[in-house]
Every structure is written in C-alpha cells, then in structure tokens.
Structure 1
Amino acid sequence: MQDQVVMALAELFARQRRLGGIPLVDHDADFASPAEQLPARGGRVGWQPWRLPEPGHFDNIATALAMPVHPDISAVFGHYYAGNVPGCFKGLFLTLLQPWNKQDFERLQQNQIAHQLMLQKLKLPATWFLATCRDEQRLVTLDNASGEVLLERLGKGPIGVLAPNLAQFLRRLEPCG
C-alpha cells in the first residue's frame, strides 16, 4: 500500500502543476528547501516536489510512543520535500501538509507526537494528521488501526470516514489555487 500512496501523491503533484503551473510559497532564506525551483521574486519562490534519495520514516516515533505507526504515514510524509497542497475533497476545502525540508520533517514528527499524546490523554483512538481544514477545529487524519482517512474534530475524535485508504483519498483530492 505504501507504493500506492507514493504514486498517488506524485499524481496529485502532477495534477497541481497542470492546474496552475509552478506553485509559489513565501521565501525564507533561513528555511531553504531542495524543492525550491525559481529565484525568489517579491518574497515568493516556486517549488516542485523533490524526491528524497533516502525516504524518511516514522520508526523513531513508533519507538518513542511504544506503538505501531501505520506505514502510510511514512509514505505520505517521507518521500518528498514539497510545499503544502491546497485542495478540495468532496466539497471540503483543506491543505494537505508536506514537509518543506529536513528540519520541517522533524518538526512534523514532533507535532505528530504531541497529537498522539493529546489523543491518549483524551482516551481517543490513534490518528495521524494529514491536512488542515478551513475550520481550524477540524483535521483530516489517518486512522492508525484501519488506515481509513477521517475527518476529525480537534480533541473530540472522528466525525466520519472520507476514504477507505490514503491512496484513494489522494487520488480523489482535487488541487486548487
């Protein structure tokens, strides 16, 4: 399934590029990424997904939390450095998160740990966040046990299932401006 997730993510990046050309992000010289493609102009820089020669993984998170981590998390966050991808899934506007560089990948892992600790404290099932929503109280998450993609209310748990797995979710996610 991991290979399907990586392929679906690559397809999403290709759809994004066909839709709007090279996406732009705010440029920060102190927070550079190998995904940057164009010289900064007006404080913005173009980017393309940059495939890591050695994929990142979440084994360290599994060890730190003493729990298994669904392999799709490593697949979606560990293969590329890229900008976040705004998109729409069945009318839900969201931003698919992506690590920008190694430092950002490490920060993402720390935030995932904090998310898990909050869920444990609230006695909620383990999920991994994938995307933010316009409504800041909702997240798109991956269920650690089933691999389903869920819509979740922050601190309250799942609202419903968006897709049976991450590859299908990524294939149906429509990038938008």
Structure 2
Amino acid sequence: MQDQVVMALAELFSRQQRLRGIPLVEHDEAYSSPAEQLPPQAGKVGWQAWARPDPGHFDNVAHALAMPVHKDVSAVFGHYYAGNIEACFKGLFFTLLQPWNEQDFERLQQNQIAHQMMMQKLKLSASWFLATCRDEQKLVTLNNATGEVQLERLGKGSIGVLAPSLSEFLRQIEPC
C-alpha cells in the first residue's frame, strides 16, 4: 500500500507540472530546498518534487506518542521534498502539504504530534492532517485506524470519508 501512495504522489506531481507548468514559490536563501529550480527570478523560484535518497519516516512520532502511525503517513510525507499543492477534490479546494526540506519535515512531525495530542485530549479518533482547506475550520486527514481519507472539522472530528485510501485520493485530486 505504501508503494501505491508514493506512486500516486509522483503521478500527482507529474499532473501538476503537465497542467500548470513549474510552480513558483517565494525564494528564501536561508530556507532552501533541493526541490528548487534555480536561479530565482523576481523573488520567486520554481520547484520540482525531489525524491529523497533516504526516505523519512514517522517511527519517532509513533515512539513519542506510544501509538502506531499509519504507514501511509510516512509514504506521503517522507519520500519527497516539494512545495505545497493547491488542489481540488469534488468541489473541495485545499492545499496538500509537503515538506520543503529536512527542517520542514521535522516541523511537520512536531505539528502532527500536537494535532494528535489535541485529538487525544478531545477523545477523538486518531488522524493525521494531510491538507488545509479554504475553510480554516476544516482539514483533510488520514484516519489512523482505517487509512481512509476524511474531511475533519477542527476539534470535532470526522465529517465524512472522501476516499477509501490515500492512494485513491491522490489519484483523484486535480491541481488547481
């Protein structure tokens, strides 16, 4: 299943570039990424997903929380450095998060731990955020137990299932 997620993510990066060209982000010399396509122009730099030679994992997060982390979390966040992707799924507009560099990957892990601690405090099912929505009270998340991709209201839990698996979700979203 993890390989399917990595392949679906690579396909999404290809679709994005084919449909929208090379995406641009603000250039920050102090916060560089191997995904950057230099040189910067007018304060912006293009990026292309960069496959990490040694994929990152969430074993440290599982250890810190004393709970298993669904394997798709490492698959979606640990294999590439890339910019975030503006996307759409059945009328839902969101920003699919991606780590820009190792520092960003570590910050993402810390934020995932904080999200999980909030979920535990509120006695809600474990989930891992994947994307932020235009409505700031909603997130696209991965259900830790089932691997389903769901829409979640902050502090309230799942609103509904968007896709039965992360690989299926990634194959169905459209860059916008």
TM range (shorter): over 0.9
Task: Give the equivalent residue in structure 1 for 2:93.
Answer: 93
1:1-177 alignment, distance < 5 Å: 1-176=1-176
1:15 counterpart SS class: helix
Deviation at 1:73, TM superposition (A): 0.1
Deviation string, structure 1 residues 77-96 (Cα, Å, up to 9, x no partner) = 00000000000000000000
> What letter matches 1:98 in structure 2?
Q
Runs of 4 or more off by more than 4 Å in structure 1?
none
Deviation at 1:39, TM superposition (A): 1.0
The total of aligned residue pairs comes to: 176
CA RMSD of aligned residues (A): 0.4
Deviation at 1:10, TM superposition (A): 0.2
> What letter matches 2:62 in structure 1?
A
Structure with more of its chain in strand, by fraction: 2
2:3 & 2:22 partners in 1: Cα distance?
A: 25
Deviation string, structure 1 residues 92-131 (Cα, Å, up to 9, x no partner) = 0000000000000000000000000000000000000000
1:10 & 1:97 partners in 2: Cα distance?
A: 14
1:152 counterpart SS class: strand
Query: Among the aligned pairs, what percent are the same residue?
Result: 78
> TM-score normalized by structure 2?
0.99
1:32 & 1:124 partners in 2: Cα distance?
A: 36
> TM-score normalized by structure 1?
0.99
2:20 & 2:130 partners in 1: Cα distance?
A: 22
2:40 counterpart SS class: coil
2:64 counterpart SS class: helix
Deviation string, structure 1 residues 6-58 (Cα, Å, up to 9, x no partner) = 00000000000001111000111110000001311111000000000000000
Q: Which runs of 5+ in 2 are unaligned?
A: none
1:37 counterpart SS class: strand
1:74 & 1:92 partners in 2: Cα distance?
A: 24
1:27 & 1:51 partners in 2: Cα distance?
A: 20
> What letter matches 1:93 in structure 2?
F
1:3 counterpart SS class: helix
1:98 & 1:132 partners in 2: Cα distance?
A: 11
